[in-house]
Chains A and B, each alone.
Chain A
Amino acid sequence: MYRNKRSMELADVEVWDGNVANSHALRQASVDVVSAYPITPSTGTVEAYASHNANGYVDGEMIMTESEHAAMSGCIGAAAAGARSATATSSQGLALMVETLYQASGMRLPIVLCMINRALAAPLNVNGDHSDMYLANQTGWISIDACTPEESYDLVLCAFRIGEHLDVRLPVIVNQDGFLTSHKAQNVRPLSDDAAYDFVGDYKEVNSMLNFDKPVTHGVQTESDWHFEHKAKQNAAMMASPKVIEEVFEEYAKVSGRKYNMIETYKSEDADIIIVCMGTTYQTAQVACDKMREEGIKAGVVMPRVFRPTQMDKLVETLKNAKAVVCMDRSAPGGQTGLLYNDVTAALFNTPYRPLVSNKIYGLGGRDINIGHLSTIYKEAQAEVEAGKLDGAIQKWIGVRGPELKYYSVEG
């Protein structure tokens, strides 16, 4: 509830991987309770935080639990009691946590979850794709995506401010790509401990169980009599959160000089062909985009920085002048189109704007996506624009060995 007594001297530029960056953000936010069950590739977040704890830089509690389900349960208990709480997980750990993710959001507890994205088994795989991010898509958690260690550091600090805001009071996931971000040491320009804590602020208790003057029950049962109203209230807070998120991003820009947006864009203003993607692919696509611009294709890249709640109006604003939009989903779609495709088409459907929208499934289980792949995607989309129609199917699988995979054929 209060600033850690001991602060750490940090250089203007530190070389941290995404996990270490997370650990410093958690330390600087003076989290009261970190309850965790480490899993690759998010182990480093918990391990580095444990080092801070062992070295006396953490005044809060650190609990090692017996499973991810228990880790999130520990966070929920702590948050209901009136504590700032956080954890980290990936993949199967997130899957085991799912039941409690719904508890956390339904009980309106502003927990922060540092998620290092990793493929869901089977086959067992420790590398990065977005299937865990997508699994959490309807859990009622705000979901924000980072591409670099520095972004993850920044966004974890912002996540506390967003989730704990009295108009929001919802839990927040900060995603980053497994290994590509979590294990690649890069330059991070951290705030000082004092500046970071001043930004995050003291934790504001709401109906906490440790307030003995006003006894309260959390985690109650409601049936058809009350469940609907409580879900309506919870969703209303989610739908109102973008205003708060934008305010927090503005304020963070003032203290850090780094400005985040609900939707990040690269050369999309005048672009004909826009790739919509998330995570490290957003950076690779920028390089491919520049290359395409040199070759005369008006390319652009767009990334929903805030994945949930869905930013329909901003997606329309960003994509309305494009001739083709390629939605790239790094998650096995399970017999449907990917979530980015669904978000983009849903946003555009009730508007007059009709770019060609296609869906690429790519990078599953950490399969590399490189500038060559992305350049090919731009060129194929350009050809589709010239032909005035999609090349046979809405969904194509990119970079998979064997016969070409495409689904949802389109007429003509």
Chain B
Amino acid sequence: MAKEKVITPEQEAIAKSLYKSTDQFENSIWNMGWDELVPGAACFSFEGEIDHTVVNVNPEDRPNAETNSINKYVGDWRVVKPVWKVDLCIDCQNCWLYCPDTSIISRDKEMVGIDYDHCKGCGICSEVCPTNPKSLVMFDENTKNEDALTQWPEKNTKGE
């Protein structure tokens, strides 16, 4: 039996640090009038010019501009959400691979959390999760995660 997976506080922090709200930017576009905007609504991804090694830097450490879509909160689009039961996860990375919104956060090939600021609740991660019972299960958006973990489905047995 493999060692049971646990999440360190550092790993947990990563999952919460991707999104920056408007008040975290010194020159927020929300404080700008029409005259200060970039012509044609062109949106920059990064502050200033970048060198091309940015691809090797984890998303939370990149110089993301306010207009980068990472800073666009779309969590309220969701009506159902995936909840992750850490101890069942085998780090197969299926969910990370299939998530259409890069909302499964992994570091060094280990899942560390779900990006609820960008997850839209499509349920693909749960669908492709191979464990039994699933480590990712969809719950109503209003259900608290700690309550969800107490309602986890039983293991499926053959023939049922």
Contacts and interface: CB of A to CB of B under 8 A. Distances in A.
B159 interface: no
Given A207-B44, A216-B43, A230-B41, 15 more contacts: A106-B40, A107-B42, A109-B40, A207-B40, A207-B42, A214-B48, A214-B50, A215-B44, A220-B41, A229-B32, A229-B33, A229-B34, A230-B40, A236-B34, A237-B39
B43 A206 contact: no
Candidate in A213, A214, A220, A228 with the most chain B CB atoms within 10 angstroms: A214
Contact of B52 (A106, A212, A218, A237): A212
Interface string B21-40: 00000000100111101111
- Judged by DSSP, the binding face of A is loop
A55 interface: no
Nearest to A229: B34
B145 interface: no
Contact of B37 (A109, A216, A233): A233
Interface residues of A, number: 25
Contact of B46 (A169, A214, A220): A214
Given A215-B45, A216-B45, A229-B34, A107 B40 contact: yes
A217 B43 contact: yes
Contacts of B40: 106-109, 169, 207, 218, 230, 234
A207 B38 contact: yes
B34 A218 contact: no
B37 to A, nearest CB: 6
B147 interface: no
Interface of B: 29, 32-35, 37-46, 48-50, 52, 67
A336 interface: no
21 contacts: A106-B40, A106-B41, A169-B39, A207-B39, A207-B40, A207-B44, A212-B52, A214-B48, A215-B45, A215-B46, A215-B50, A216-B42, A216-B44, A220-B42, A220-B43, A222-B41, A226-B37, A226-B41, A229-B32, A230-B40, A230-B41
Nearest to B29: A226
A122 interface: no
A232 interface: yes
Interface in A194-220: 206-207, 212-218, 220
A90 B92 CA distance: 58
Contacts of B29: 226
A213 B49 contact: yes
A233 B34 contact: yes
Contacts of A234: 39-40
A236 B45 CA distance: 26
Contacts of A207: 38-40, 42, 44
A320 B46 CA distance: 54
The 8 lowest CB-CB distance pairs between A and B, nearest first, are A108-B40, A232-B34, A229-B34, A215-B45, A107-B40, A108-B39, A213-B49, A217-B43
Contacts of A169: 39-40
Nearest to B40: A108
B35 A230 contact: no
Contacts of B39: 108, 169, 206-207, 233-234, 237
Interface in A225-253: 226, 228-230, 232-234, 236-237
A62 to B, nearest CB: 25
B37 A230 contact: yes
A218 B42 contact: yes
A237 to B, nearest CB: 7
Contacts of A228: 34
